[in-house]
Amino acid sequence: MDPVGELHHRGGVARVSALRESGVSAYSLRRSKERGEIRTVRQGWVALPDADPQVVGAVARGVVLSCVTAAEREGLWVPEKLPLHVAASPNAARIAVPSQVVVHWARPIMPRPPDATVDGLVNALVLIAQCQPFESALVIWESAMNKGLVDAPRLRCLDLPAPAREILARARPFADSGLESIFISRLRWMGLRMLPQAWILDRRVDLLIGERLVVQIDGATHTGAQRTRDIAHDAQLLLRGYHPLRFSYEQVMERWHDVQAVIMEAVAQGKHLA
Protein backbone atom coordinates (compact mmCIF):
# COMPACT_ATOMS: atom_id res chain seq x y z
CA MET A 1 0.00 0.00 0.00
CA ASP A 2 1.18 3.50 -0.87
CA PRO A 3 2.11 5.34 2.38
CA VAL A 4 1.54 8.77 0.79
CA GLY A 5 -2.00 7.90 -0.24
CA GLU A 6 -2.75 6.40 3.16
CA LEU A 7 -1.40 9.50 4.89
CA HIS A 8 -3.60 11.70 2.69
CA HIS A 9 -6.56 9.56 3.72
CA ARG A 10 -5.68 10.09 7.40
CA GLY A 11 -5.36 13.86 7.16
CA GLY A 12 -1.63 14.10 6.52
CA VAL A 13 -0.33 12.94 9.93
CA ALA A 14 -0.45 9.45 11.42
CA ARG A 15 1.22 6.95 13.73
CA VAL A 16 3.57 4.55 12.00
CA SER A 17 1.87 1.64 13.78
CA ALA A 18 -1.51 2.70 12.36
CA LEU A 19 -0.06 2.82 8.85
CA ARG A 20 1.52 -0.60 9.29
CA GLU A 21 -1.79 -2.04 10.55
CA SER A 22 -3.54 -0.67 7.45
CA GLY A 23 -1.12 -2.54 5.17
CA VAL A 24 1.75 -0.10 4.59
CA SER A 25 5.06 -2.00 4.64
CA ALA A 26 8.17 -0.87 6.50
CA TYR A 27 10.05 -0.89 3.19
CA SER A 28 7.61 1.48 1.46
CA LEU A 29 7.72 3.83 4.45
CA ARG A 30 11.52 3.90 4.34
CA ARG A 31 11.55 4.54 0.59
CA SER A 32 9.00 7.36 0.91
CA LYS A 33 11.16 8.99 3.58
CA GLU A 34 14.25 8.69 1.38
CA ARG A 35 12.39 10.37 -1.48
CA GLY A 36 11.21 13.18 0.79
CA GLU A 37 7.54 12.23 0.34
CA ILE A 38 6.99 11.87 4.07
CA ARG A 39 8.89 12.96 7.15
CA THR A 40 9.23 11.88 10.75
CA VAL A 41 7.48 14.29 13.12
CA ARG A 42 8.17 12.45 16.35
CA GLN A 43 9.15 8.93 17.26
CA GLY A 44 6.43 6.69 15.86
CA TRP A 45 4.71 9.49 13.90
CA VAL A 46 5.09 10.62 10.27
CA ALA A 47 3.54 13.38 8.17
CA LEU A 48 3.31 14.68 4.64
CA PRO A 49 5.48 17.74 3.87
CA ASP A 50 2.38 19.94 3.45
CA ALA A 51 0.46 18.58 6.47
CA ASP A 52 -1.47 21.01 8.67
CA PRO A 53 1.20 22.87 10.70
CA GLN A 54 -1.04 23.10 13.78
CA VAL A 55 -1.52 19.33 13.82
CA VAL A 56 2.17 18.66 13.11
CA GLY A 57 3.21 20.99 15.91
CA ALA A 58 0.84 19.32 18.36
CA VAL A 59 1.98 15.80 17.46
CA ALA A 60 5.65 16.81 17.68
CA ARG A 61 5.05 17.90 21.30
CA GLY A 62 2.87 14.97 22.32
CA VAL A 63 -0.36 16.96 22.73
CA VAL A 64 -3.68 17.28 20.88
CA LEU A 65 -5.40 20.42 19.64
CA SER A 66 -8.28 21.15 22.00
CA CYS A 67 -10.48 23.73 23.73
CA VAL A 68 -11.23 26.79 21.56
CA THR A 69 -8.77 25.67 18.87
CA ALA A 70 -10.67 22.40 18.34
CA ALA A 71 -13.98 24.32 18.38
CA GLU A 72 -12.77 26.72 15.72
CA ARG A 73 -11.58 23.85 13.55
CA GLU A 74 -15.10 22.37 13.82
CA GLY A 75 -16.49 25.59 12.38
CA LEU A 76 -18.06 26.73 15.65
CA TRP A 77 -18.66 30.40 16.38
CA VAL A 78 -15.71 31.58 18.48
CA PRO A 79 -16.18 35.22 19.56
CA GLU A 80 -12.58 36.34 19.09
CA LYS A 81 -9.22 35.18 17.79
CA LEU A 82 -7.49 33.33 20.61
CA PRO A 83 -4.05 31.71 21.02
CA LEU A 84 -3.56 28.02 20.29
CA HIS A 85 -5.00 25.69 22.95
CA VAL A 86 -3.81 22.11 23.37
CA ALA A 87 -4.48 19.28 25.80
CA ALA A 88 -1.94 16.96 27.39
CA SER A 89 -2.32 13.80 29.38
CA PRO A 90 -2.51 14.64 33.12
CA ASN A 91 0.46 12.38 33.83
CA ALA A 92 2.54 13.53 30.85
CA ALA A 93 6.09 14.70 31.37
CA ARG A 94 6.96 18.38 31.00
CA ILE A 95 5.94 19.64 27.57
CA ALA A 96 7.89 22.34 25.74
CA VAL A 97 5.52 24.63 23.83
CA PRO A 98 5.78 28.27 22.72
CA SER A 99 4.90 30.72 25.50
CA GLN A 100 1.66 31.84 23.80
CA VAL A 101 0.24 28.29 23.62
CA VAL A 102 -2.22 27.35 26.38
CA VAL A 103 -1.81 23.80 27.70
CA HIS A 104 -4.70 22.00 29.47
CA TRP A 105 -3.70 19.12 31.73
CA ALA A 106 -7.17 17.98 32.81
CA ARG A 107 -8.24 14.36 32.42
CA PRO A 108 -10.61 14.07 29.43
CA ILE A 109 -14.28 13.25 29.93
CA MET A 110 -14.26 11.03 26.84
CA PRO A 111 -11.26 8.71 26.24
CA ARG A 112 -8.81 9.99 23.62
CA PRO A 113 -7.89 7.43 20.95
CA PRO A 114 -4.11 7.01 20.55
CA ASP A 115 -4.34 8.24 16.95
CA ALA A 116 -6.12 11.49 17.89
CA THR A 117 -4.49 14.76 16.85
CA VAL A 118 -7.53 16.94 17.55
CA ASP A 119 -9.53 16.40 20.73
CA GLY A 120 -13.09 15.14 20.58
CA LEU A 121 -15.70 17.89 20.64
CA VAL A 122 -17.13 16.92 24.06
CA ASN A 123 -13.67 17.11 25.63
CA ALA A 124 -13.07 20.45 23.94
CA LEU A 125 -16.40 21.87 25.15
CA VAL A 126 -15.69 20.81 28.74
CA LEU A 127 -12.33 22.59 28.62
CA ILE A 128 -13.98 25.65 27.11
CA ALA A 129 -16.45 25.76 30.00
CA GLN A 130 -13.54 25.79 32.45
CA CYS A 131 -11.23 28.05 30.46
CA GLN A 132 -13.32 30.77 28.80
CA PRO A 133 -15.56 33.52 30.23
CA PHE A 134 -19.12 32.29 30.75
CA GLU A 135 -20.60 34.24 27.82
CA SER A 136 -17.95 33.08 25.34
CA ALA A 137 -18.30 29.47 26.49
CA LEU A 138 -22.10 29.66 26.20
CA VAL A 139 -21.84 30.98 22.64
CA ILE A 140 -19.55 28.11 21.60
CA TRP A 141 -21.72 25.45 23.27
CA GLU A 142 -24.86 26.83 21.61
CA SER A 143 -23.08 26.90 18.26
CA ALA A 144 -22.27 23.20 18.65
CA MET A 145 -25.89 22.43 19.60
CA ASN A 146 -27.27 24.47 16.72
CA LYS A 147 -25.11 22.51 14.25
CA GLY A 148 -26.35 19.23 15.74
CA LEU A 149 -22.84 18.20 16.80
CA VAL A 150 -23.87 17.60 20.43
CA ASP A 151 -27.19 17.37 22.23
CA ALA A 152 -28.18 18.14 25.80
CA PRO A 153 -29.67 14.74 26.80
CA ARG A 154 -26.46 12.87 25.98
CA LEU A 155 -24.29 15.50 27.65
CA ARG A 156 -26.37 15.23 30.83
CA CYS A 157 -25.39 11.56 31.08
CA LEU A 158 -21.72 12.47 31.47
CA ASP A 159 -19.85 13.26 34.67
CA LEU A 160 -19.32 16.91 33.79
CA PRO A 161 -17.45 19.35 36.03
CA ALA A 162 -19.49 22.15 37.62
CA PRO A 163 -18.66 24.87 35.02
CA ALA A 164 -19.76 22.57 32.19
CA ARG A 165 -22.98 21.65 34.00
CA GLU A 166 -23.75 25.34 34.47
CA ILE A 167 -23.24 26.05 30.76
CA LEU A 168 -25.36 23.02 29.82
CA ALA A 169 -28.23 24.25 32.02
CA ARG A 170 -28.29 27.56 30.16
CA ALA A 171 -27.43 26.50 26.61
CA ARG A 172 -30.14 26.32 23.95
CA PRO A 173 -29.76 25.08 20.35
CA PHE A 174 -32.04 27.65 18.70
CA ALA A 175 -29.77 30.67 18.11
CA ASP A 176 -28.46 30.63 14.55
CA SER A 177 -25.29 32.60 15.29
CA GLY A 178 -23.02 33.51 18.13
CA LEU A 179 -24.29 37.08 18.06
CA GLU A 180 -27.82 35.86 18.76
CA SER A 181 -26.56 33.77 21.68
CA ILE A 182 -24.75 36.79 23.11
CA PHE A 183 -27.82 39.00 22.65
CA ILE A 184 -30.11 36.57 24.47
CA SER A 185 -27.59 35.91 27.25
CA ARG A 186 -27.12 39.62 27.93
CA LEU A 187 -30.87 40.35 28.00
CA ARG A 188 -31.98 37.34 30.03
CA TRP A 189 -32.02 39.49 33.19
CA MET A 190 -35.07 41.35 31.80
CA GLY A 191 -37.22 38.26 32.22
CA LEU A 192 -38.94 38.69 28.85
CA ARG A 193 -39.99 35.98 26.43
CA MET A 194 -37.29 35.80 23.74
CA LEU A 195 -37.70 33.55 20.71
CA PRO A 196 -34.66 33.19 18.42
CA GLN A 197 -35.18 32.47 14.73
CA ALA A 198 -38.90 33.26 14.91
CA TRP A 199 -40.87 32.85 11.68
CA ILE A 200 -42.73 36.08 10.81
CA LEU A 201 -44.21 37.01 7.41
CA ASP A 202 -42.60 34.13 5.53
CA ARG A 203 -39.11 34.85 6.85
CA ARG A 204 -37.08 34.12 9.93
CA VAL A 205 -36.04 37.00 12.17
CA ASP A 206 -33.06 36.77 14.49
CA LEU A 207 -34.99 37.40 17.69
CA LEU A 208 -38.57 38.16 18.74
CA ILE A 209 -38.92 39.79 22.16
CA GLY A 210 -42.40 39.48 23.58
CA GLU A 211 -45.03 39.49 20.83
CA ARG A 212 -43.97 42.47 18.70
CA LEU A 213 -40.35 43.61 19.21
CA VAL A 214 -38.16 42.22 16.44
CA VAL A 215 -34.37 42.31 16.65
CA GLN A 216 -32.22 41.80 13.57
CA ILE A 217 -28.43 41.55 13.84
CA ASP A 218 -26.51 42.45 10.71
CA GLY A 219 -23.30 40.59 9.95
CA ALA A 220 -20.89 41.04 7.08
CA THR A 221 -23.33 39.46 4.59
CA HIS A 222 -25.97 42.15 5.04
CA THR A 223 -25.02 44.10 1.93
CA GLY A 224 -26.34 44.49 -1.62
CA ALA A 225 -29.38 42.39 -2.48
CA GLN A 226 -29.50 40.88 1.02
CA ARG A 227 -29.66 44.34 2.57
CA THR A 228 -32.42 45.36 0.15
CA ARG A 229 -34.52 42.32 1.08
CA ASP A 230 -33.99 43.04 4.77
CA ILE A 231 -35.18 46.64 4.41
CA ALA A 232 -38.26 45.51 2.49
CA HIS A 233 -39.07 42.95 5.18
CA ASP A 234 -38.64 45.59 7.91
CA ALA A 235 -41.21 47.73 6.11
CA GLN A 236 -43.70 44.86 6.00
CA LEU A 237 -43.13 44.20 9.71
CA LEU A 238 -43.89 47.84 10.51
CA LEU A 239 -47.08 47.80 8.46
CA ARG A 240 -48.30 44.78 10.42
CA GLY A 241 -47.67 46.21 13.85
CA TYR A 242 -44.21 44.84 14.62
CA HIS A 243 -41.32 47.02 15.78
CA PRO A 244 -38.07 45.99 14.07
CA LEU A 245 -34.73 47.08 15.51
CA ARG A 246 -31.54 46.42 13.57
CA PHE A 247 -28.06 46.33 15.08
CA SER A 248 -24.61 45.69 13.62
CA TYR A 249 -21.90 43.31 14.80
CA GLU A 250 -19.83 46.28 15.97
CA GLN A 251 -22.70 47.61 18.06
CA VAL A 252 -23.33 44.29 19.80
CA MET A 253 -19.68 43.50 20.48
CA GLU A 254 -18.23 46.97 21.08
CA ARG A 255 -21.12 49.22 22.15
CA TRP A 256 -23.43 46.91 24.07
CA HIS A 257 -24.56 49.57 26.55
CA ASP A 258 -26.03 51.61 23.67
CA VAL A 259 -27.83 48.55 22.31
CA GLN A 260 -29.21 47.61 25.71
CA ALA A 261 -30.41 51.18 26.28
CA VAL A 262 -32.43 51.05 23.04
CA ILE A 263 -33.98 47.71 24.01
CA MET A 264 -34.87 48.95 27.50
CA GLU A 265 -36.52 52.09 26.10
CA ALA A 266 -38.49 50.06 23.55
CA VAL A 267 -39.72 47.74 26.31
CA ALA A 268 -40.57 50.71 28.53
CA GLN A 269 -42.71 52.05 25.66
CA GLY A 270 -44.47 48.70 25.38
CA LYS A 271 -43.14 47.98 21.88
CA HIS A 272 -42.87 44.29 22.77
CA LEU A 273 -46.57 43.99 23.54
CA ALA A 274 -49.32 43.09 21.08
- 80-92 pLDDT, tens digit per residue, is 889 999 999 888 7
Query: What pLDDT, in 10s, does the model give residues 124-180?
Result: 999 999 999 999 999 999 999 999 999 999 999 999 999 999 999 999 888 778 888
Do residues 209 and 186 make contact, with C-beta atoms less than 8 angstroms apart? no
Domains of the chain: which residue ranges? 3-51, 60-170, 178-268
Cα–Cα dist 139/79, whole Å: 8
pLDDT for residue 80: 80
Do residues 26 and 46 make contact, with C-beta atoms less than 8 angstroms apart? no
Percent above pLDDT 70 for the chain: 99
Do residues 85 and 132 make contact, with C-beta atoms less than 8 angstroms apart? no
pTM of the predicted structure, to 2 decimals: 0.83
Do residues 206 and 195 make contact, with C-beta atoms less than 8 angstroms apart? no
Query: What pLDDT, in 10s, does the model give residues 205-251?
Result: 999 999 999 999 887 666 678 888 888 999 999 999 999 999 988 89
Burial tier of 104 (Cβ tally within 10 Å: 0-12, 13-18, 19+):
buried
Query: What pLDDT, in 10s, does the model give residues 256-266?
Result: 999 999 999 99
Q: Taking 90 as the threshold, does the pLDDT of residue 49 lie above it?
A: yes
Query: What pLDDT, in 10s, does the model give residues 97-120?
Result: 888 999 999 899 999 999 999 999
pLDDT for residue 225: 81
pLDDT for residue 220: 60
Backbone Cα Rg of the chain: 24
E strand or H helix at 118, and its extent?
A: none
Q: Taking 70 as the threshold, does the pLDDT of residue 31 lie above it?
A: yes
Q: Which residue blocks in 3-161 are alpha helix, DSSP H?
A: 3-9, 16-21, 26-34, 53-60, 67-73, 121-131, 134-146, 152-156
pLDDT for residue 113: 93
Q: What SS3 state is found at 205?
A: strand
Domain 178-268 annotated CATH 3.40.960.10: yes
> 218 to each of 39, 179, 185, 245, 248, how far by Cα in Å?
46, 9, 18, 11, 5
pLDDT for residue 223: 66
Burial tier of 251 (Cβ tally within 10 Å: 0-12, 13-18, 19+):
middle
